[in-house]
Structure 1
């Protein structure tokens, strides 16, 4: 995985003035675009698209300082107008292209990223692989922004809006593994950009042929393998730390990769105030 990510960085660097076919790079390194983008975002701390934009604007700034015409620089970096180029430039550098051209800065340069695997063994990964038949995830869903660290207040507000009787009703419908009430994240941005919207479903798993009431939302999940990671400790910090470690430690050293599909969190045990919990994180995977 580390070699694949570095190959991707090399391709980006060689094609900063052109469209970059990430799917083609993924096939070249024996991966998928979905997995490559997710691993890049998890390990780099930024999305691939954001990294490409920062690298392009780093080169664009150097060209402006060297005396390049704004329109020429904009066109060279794939922008059809100086207005669109100026907006992208300002997002990266915090100042206008004209200011940089006239004053030489300030600039926020993005260096070329290099990925390295550091073997530390700091996180013990309690993991199992489950081959699971097709299932349906049923419950109540909403659209919420992606938040990487700390509780998501939008999810908390949504769950609190459901009456207690509805929680009990959903629990009674649980009829497939993982059991009990589940926290389901679906339709997540491939680049995993914080603030982008995802579908959150508060519900349970049932067999694929189960009948579902009309007032419940449904996510159809095909048969496939799942990597299941157990986390215990402060909630949600322990769960989020385990999630991060799947990218930094588990996937780089195991012959599996992410496949498209929802991620599931099952709460196995928790304190009354939810300050601590034991959870299982279910991620859809396929052989790498």
Structure 2
């Protein structure tokens, strides 16, 4: 229940500041996580980005004011909800409601309202969440490291998924797999040689590290790669069924969503420093993935 309380404290802060400036660092502080992690959790649970949710709530409240206070000027409402000009406000308003702000003042006009979100425990069905808990000793991984932020742009990959795509295209994945050597005993021998690890160290506000990595063993060639030591941890591991390659992205999203929305709120656990791994494999000619989340009892 503590996890739900944290999330709802963050939502309370957002709601109280829709007509002001919303500091994502403060949102994250109230949820006891990083800004990056809160935005990820929010998106996986709600199927909408945090930025889009805030936009919808602002424009919902703006529509209420247009209808209930016809003396207030459109430009005053635009400025109140963070728009620099009536033009940008009108564009956003019409995109959401399908009409201009001036039309919203007409009697009988149809508008859209997006209510405040609250996080609750709900009964969704009887589908089991398959997982296992494993405590592993310290181990090392090595590979190609990048630091990402949510607003990154330009020629470099802006998301881990794009990082994977680029590294497949330029041959880095194949080269890392060649240098990986033997798999350690604590990893399934059905596993591939290249995986992903996220949030294994602090990199600054609103950023996170991600590495395309291999497990280090006595036969690994680590020259030219970054090497990190993962301390002894308890891991909550969520495996997929064997899947075709075109279902890989959707499968990972489903596993993340079930972890954040169904397992974590009721497990009595919390993530440790937001660290996680994506351990990829193959079975019977199909792909598999396990999501490893470092956890501890609350």
TM-score, structure 1 length as denominator?
Answer: 0.70
- In 1, Cα distance between the equivalents of 2:289 and 2:173? 22
What displacement does 1:251 show?
A: 0.4
What displacement does 1:138 show?
A: 0.5
The residue that corresponds to 1:58 in the other structure is: 60
- In 1, Cα distance between the equivalents of 2:46 and 2:193? 32
Q: 1:211 to 1:270 in 2, by over 3 A?
A: closer
- In 2, Cα distance between the equivalents of 1:87 and 1:206? 53
Q: Does 1:133 align with 2:143?
A: no
What displacement does 1:182 show?
A: 3.0
1:65-104 alignment, distance < 5 Å: 65=67, 66-67=69-70, 68-100=72-104
1:262-273 alignment, distance < 5 Å: 263-272=276-285
The residue that corresponds to 1:213 in the other structure is: 223
What displacement does 1:264 show?
A: 2.4
Counterpart selection for 1:252 from 243, 250, 265: 265
Q: 1:21 to 1:153 in 2, by over 3 A?
A: closer
- In 2, Cα distance between the equivalents of 1:130 and 1:162? 34
What displacement does 1:154 show?
A: 8.0
Counterpart selection for 2:120 from 96, 112, 116: 116
Over residues 173-218 of structure 1, what are the superposed CA-to-partner deviations in whole Å (9 max), with x where a residue is unaligned?
766965742332647xxxxxxxxx99875431338xx98323x4x3
Q: 1:155 to 1:24 in 2, by over 3 A?
A: closer
Q: Does 1:159 align with 2:160?
A: no
Counterpart selection for 1:169 from 150, 155, 178: 178
Counterpart selection for 2:236 from 227, 231, 235: 227
Conserved? CA contact 2:240–2:255, under 8 Å: yes
- In 1, Cα distance between the equivalents of 2:81 and 2:282? 52
What displacement does 1:45 show?
A: 1.6
Q: 1:83 to 1:36 in 2, by over 3 A?
A: same
Conserved? CA contact 2:179–2:221, under 8 Å: no
Counterpart selection for 1:184 from 161, 176, 196: 196
How many residues are paired up?
266
The residue that corresponds to 1:143 in the other structure is: 157
TM-score, structure 2 length as denominator?
Answer: 0.68
Superposition RMSD on alpha carbons, in Å? 4.0
Q: 1:164 to 1:126 in 2, by over 3 A?
A: closer
Structure 2 residue runs without a partner (length 5+): 147-155, 200-206
Which secondary structure state, in structure 2, belongs to the residue aligned with residue 258 of structure 1? strand
Conserved? CA contact 1:139–1:204, under 8 Å: no
- In 1, Cα distance between the equivalents of 2:111 and 2:56? 11
